[in-house]
Amino acid sequence: MWQPAAVAVDRDHLGRRLALGGATLALNTSLLFTPRYAALMLRRAFAGDGEATARGLAEHAPADVDSLVDEPYGDEPDLLLDVHRPRSADSTLPAVVWVHGGGFVGGSKDELAGYFKLIASRGYAVVAPRYSLAPEHRYPTPLRQVAAALGFLDEHAGRLGVDATRVVLAGDSAGAQIAAQTAALVTTPGYAEAVGVRPALDPGVLRGVVLACGPYDIRLAERAGTPEGRRFLKTVLWAYSGKRRFLHDASFAMLSVVDHLTSAFPPALITVGNADPLREHSELLAERLRERGVDVETLFFPADHEPPLRHEYQFDLDGEAGQLFLERVLAFLALRLQ
């Protein structure tokens, strides 16, 4: 049985202490009853790290990209999306729909704008939807909202300069889980009905998925990764599900994408750092997809890789590994979005 403990997380490390001294006692006490306070502390930590990430990515962002920011894609306050396109483009462009991470409790599309502009500059319309966060909003709300964003893109493709017949879904961390589950909803018969979310996307339109550092099997929250990584994952999944014993909730168990894959799942590019507490999730997903005959590319690293590549390593574009993954992403997109 999991005993409440101080939650630790870091965008780079998933290991920075969020509570020390008296704050640790207060946090542990709150976790006897609710994940809310821990989730809000995590959100603040993500926001601080996100500001640093945004500054780093902005240094690499090209200037010749136009951005439509905070376009409403529905009536709810959080239903806003950005579209980034190269300024020189005079026609619709294939779409890369990237779902941001943040442990389901934090993160922002705005933090990754520099990265999206880099991808857009190579001839793509990069679409970044905002979605509602836990603990105020629970599963499958973000999944439903991303499905709504896809429907909005299809309906307004011409105005937004998007070729809605050529789409790659992408995401990082929690966003990678949402992107992967959305792809499974599109390609696995009966899955959308079971979850209660049906994306407005034809399987033939979905050309691929790019997945970075995501969680894909909630059962690994009990046994995989570091103790701190497990505490973090259990806390955010409690916040996301609304249930402390989320492993016993049949509806929430649908979140485990590895159990709902078929050979129709789109070609995938999957990466994770060697020091990421969620590493086993990516390795398991790649294994399950290959068992079903899906075309899978991976960028994994030896256990002794130096420097250690921690959670969300790919957004450090001053490092060789981050640059390597960006190259792999661009090659994958060029192949799949021809």
Q: Which two tokens stand for residue 2?
A: 């999991």
- Which strand ranges, in their side-by-side order, compose the sheet holding 268-271? 65-72, 80-86, 125-129, 93-99, 162-172, 206-212, 268-271, 296-299
Average pLDDT over residues 38-56: 92
**Residue 125: predicted pLDDT:** 98
Task: Assess contact for 191 and 199: CB atoms under 8 A.
Answer: no
Write down all domains in the chain, each with its CATH number in brackets. 22-336 (3.40.50.1820)
Q: How far apart are CA 172 and CA 101, in angstroms?
A: 5
Residues of the chain with pLDDT > 70, as a percent, come to 90
Distance CA 321, CA 299 (A): 9
- Of 233, 232, 167, 179, nearest to 205 (Cα)? 167
Name the residue among 95, 268, 98 with its Cα closest to residue 173.
98
DSSP 8-state secondary structure symbol assigned to residue 125: E
Whether the predicted pLDDT of 234 surpasses 60: yes
Start-to-end CA distance of the chain, whole Å, equals: 50
Check if the beta carbon of residue 289 is closer than 8 Å to that of residue 267: no
Over residues 112-119, mean pLDDT:
98
Number of residues in the chain: 338
Predicted local confidence at residue 7, as pLDDT: 43
* Residues with Cβ within 8 Å of residue 58, at least 6 apart in sequence: 113, 114
- 2-32 pLDDT per residue, tens: 333 444 444 444 444 333 333 444 455 456 6
Residues 6+ apart with CB under 8 A from 275: 13, 308, 309, 310
State residue 31's pLDDT score.
62
Q: Is the torsion defined by CA of 283, 278, 131, 157 positive or negative?
A: negative
Is the pLDDT score of 232 beyond 90? Answer: no
For 173-198, the pLDDT digits (tens) are 999 999 999 999 999 999 999 999 99
218: closest CA among 289, 306, 305, 285?
285
In whole angstroms, what is the distance from residue 116 CA to residue 129 CA?
A: 12
Query: What pLDDT is attached to residue 293?
Result: 98
pTM for the structure as a whole: 0.92
pLDDT at 287 over 90: yes
Query: How many contiguous H segments (helices) and E segments (strands) does the chain have?
Result: 11, 8
Task: Tell me the two tokens of residue 79.
Answer: 């239903």
Q: Residue 307: pLDDT above 50?
A: yes
Q: What is the mean pLDDT of the chain?
A: 91
pLDDT at 223 over 90: no
Q: Does residue 334 have a pLDDT over 60?
A: yes
Question: Which residues, at least 6 apart from 62, have a Cβ–Cβ distance to it below 8 Å?
Answer: 117, 118, 121
48-52, 211-215, 254-258 — which is least confidently predicted?
A: 48-52
Which tops the pLDDT comparison, 1 or 271? 271
